[in-house]
Amino acid sequence: MIELDEEQQRPRAWFESLRDRICVEFERIEDEASDTPGRFTFTPWERSDPDGSPGGGGVQGLMKGRVFEKVGVNVSTVAGRFTPEFAATIHGAGDDPRFFATGISLVAHMANPHVPAVHMNTRFLATTKRWFGGGADLNPPIPYDNDTADFHAAMKRACDAHDPGHYPQFKQWADDYFYIPHRQVHRGVGGIFYDHLDGNFEANFAFTRSVGEAFLDIFPQLVRRRMDTPFNDEDKRRQLAYRGRYAEFNLVYDRGTLFGLKTGGNVDAILMSLPPVAIWE
């Protein structure tokens, strides 16, 4: 076990509670769609620092169902020391490699290609600085304008409740971040992405909670809107080809994947973002 102070404990508890509510809602959707609905399985894991001291761990939540072909909802709380090379790339860790991190990470790949895939992650990190980061972005193989508009409207409301400047700044950050340079395409239709929100713990924690609540409100609406839409072989082919692009981004460019691997996280939990099936054409 690792010892947590109050500013570390409160985000950890929030991320775990958000996970629990998301999993309940996703299982409700499975119940609505099938007599044999999917259910989450939860697998705890632990890590140690290279010197053998406790380094925290987490719980991987995974469901494979009729609506959610594969969805992972993971929470981790870890601490230790970055390697000197990696510490130089982390906010506030250049002079002191000790770190603490807790967060929730969610990726959903859907059975019906008309239902958008989605990613959501919020986190709290402590080095010589303490900050929040995260966001949510929509990844539809077959985009619908009203789905995109409703998702962005939910993120904008979450932002505007705290700072009217957040949404345009964090939307642009998402557009810039979720881009695949070697394909010259965006990974999806965007959302918001933010990082290094430090200085005012209470305000930044409140904003991060708002992002999580906005996701829990809007994404189930989009799933229910599209999950019964008929689809054909061509629709499925488009989905599988899109998933190939998604996998390329996560393996080549995603900072969260790199952070998990560099800090000795659970490999299965880190790579749960990869789709169950994909094609490259």
The verdict on whether residue 146 carries a ligand-binding annotation is no
Four-point Cα dihedral 248, 194, 222, 269, nearest 10: 50
134-148 pLDDT, tens per residue? 999 999 999 999 999
pLDDT of residue 1: 64
139 marked ligand binding residue:
no
**pLDDT at position 54:** 83
Question: Does position 34 have pLDDT exceeding 70, yes or no?
Answer: yes
pLDDT digits (tens, 9 = 90+) for 165-219: 999 999 999 999 999 999 999 999 999 999 999 989 999 999 999 999 999 999 9
Look over the chain and give the mean of its residue pLDDT values, rounded to a whole number: 95
- Element spanning 121, H or E: strand 117-126
Tell me how many degrees the CA angle 257-263-265 measures, rounded to the nearest 5.
Answer: 70
Task: Please give the residue that has the higher pLDDT: either 257 or 114.
Answer: 114
Tens of pLDDT, residues 1-22: 678 899 999 999 999 999 999 9
Reported as half-sphere exposure (CB side, CA atoms, 13 A), residue 157 has a value of 11
What pLDDT digit, counting tens, does each position of 212-262 carry? 999 999 999 999 999 999 999 999 999 999 999 999 999 999 988 988 888
Tokens of 54: 């406790």
The answer to whether 65 is a known ligand-binding residue is no
Q: Is residue 50 predicted with pLDDT exceeding 80?
A: no
- Helix, coil or strand: residue 187: coil
Rounded to an integer, what distance in angstroms lies between the CA atom of residue 266 and that of residue 60? 9
Q: What is the model's pLDDT at position 137?
A: 98
- 122 annotated as belonging to a binding site for a ligand: yes
Give the DSSP H/E element, type plus range, for residue 58: strand 54-63
Active site residues: 119
Place of tokens 């505007």: 160
Domains of the chain: 6-273 (3.40.1500.10)
